[in-house]
Amino acid sequence: MKLRVLVSLKPGVLDAQGRAIEHALRDLGHAQVKGVRTGKLVVLDLDTPDPASARALASELCEKLLANPVIEQYEILS
Amino acid sequence: MSGARVGVLVFPGSLDDRDMMRSLGLLGAEVQAIWHKDARLPELDGIGVPGGFSYGDYLRAGAMARFSPVMRAVLEFAASGRPVLGVCNGFQILCEAGLLPGALVRNRDLKFICQDVRVAVEDPGNFRAELPPGRTLVMPVKHGDGAYVPDPEHKPRVAFRYVGGSPNGSTDDIAGVANAAGNVVGLMPHPEHAVDPLLGSTDGAPLLRSFLAACLATRARR
């Protein structure tokens, strides 16, 4: 089954890319934009017997490689 | 200083391995390249982890290199108290591998930076032979992901700090750190590009000699 994992910088860690996008959007006249954070979407195709073990595996892969817990957080979407 | 046996790791995408080998050789070390697939290390007194873009820096700088066969051997090597020096991508790899605390993220201004910087020595762990606190060194940096972010749970031992503000948005202007034991040091500036007057600065030489002195000191103790 396919699982999508969202990896992003933790709040408080400077997201230079997000900030540059935020400035660009405001420069385009969208003063309502108060903040932009970016992340990485990783789509995993996993051969596991059931959704629960797929999620457990995805979580393990995040801890091991996909996210660096010092600076990043992850969320398993679906 | 002659006789320190140093291995320089070579990953797919390493760029500065040759410069690191050449500079350490000029300073009297016996240097050999260590391929990333080598799970066993030869008899060495120190290891250099060079700059570049290992594995294309995909995912995160240094993230994939950490799982190379050679890195397991490097973890054991470091745990035995022998010196490991990481420069630029090598610094990022050592952070990803957990040998140094913290992590490196994209430069504040999203620009690749290539310029000379001045750093001040603070606490370079065991690499202190020619690095008294307060000494300043001019060396080049060339990186896109050089902003150091400390691990809130492990206060870094700051080895080097940028003088006059960091070029990349590093927390507290940190340019390099040492591990708690003092035998692993990583920094973003490139000492190996600053040993020949032709290239503008020779301030990298005392740093590399201090690394080699630590190599010989640990060998003498073993």
Q: What is the pLDDT of residues B45-71, one digit of tens each?
A: 999 999 999 988 889 999 999 889 999
pLDDT in tens, B77-92: 999 999 999 999 999 9
pLDDT at B2: 66
Q: A14 and B169 in contact by Cβ < 8 A? A: yes
Query: What span, in angstroms and rounded, lies between the C-alpha atoms of B50 and B63?
Result: 15
When divided into structural domains, chain A yields a total of 1
> Residue A78: pLDDT band by 50, 70, 90 thresholds?
confident
* Mean pLDDT score of chain B: 95
Q: B107 and A16 in contact by Cβ < 8 A? A: yes
* Mean pLDDT score of chain A: 95
pLDDT in tens, B98-135: 999 999 999 999 999 999 999 999 999 999 999 999 99
A14, A20, A65 member nearest B105 (Cβ): A14
Helices (H) and strands (E) in chain B, counts: 4, 11
Instruction: Write the CATH number for A54.
Output: 3.30.1280.10
| Residue ranges making up the domain that contains A25 | 2-76
Does the ipTM surpass 0.95?
no
B88, B95, B143, B193: which one is catalytic? B88
pLDDT at B108: 94
| Residue ranges making up the domain that contains B23 | 5-221
* Nearest of B90, B78, B11 to residue B48 by alpha carbon: B90
Query: What span, in angstroms and rounded, lies between the C-alpha atoms of A65 and A44?
Result: 13
pLDDT in tens, B122-176: 999 999 999 999 999 999 999 999 999 999 888 899 999 999 999 999 999 999 9
Instruction: Work out whether strand B46-49 and strand B84-87 pair parallel, antiparallel, or are unpaired.
Output: parallel
Angle value at C-alpha A26, between A25 and A28, nearest 5 degrees: 65
**For residues B220 and B214, is the Cβ–Cβ distance under 8 A?**
no
CB-based contact, B151 to chain A, within 8 Å:
yes
**For residues A58 and A5, is the Cβ–Cβ distance under 8 A?**
yes
Instruction: Write the CATH number for B111.
Output: 3.40.50.880
When divided into structural domains, chain B yields a total of 1
How far does CA B206 lie from the centroid of its chain?
14
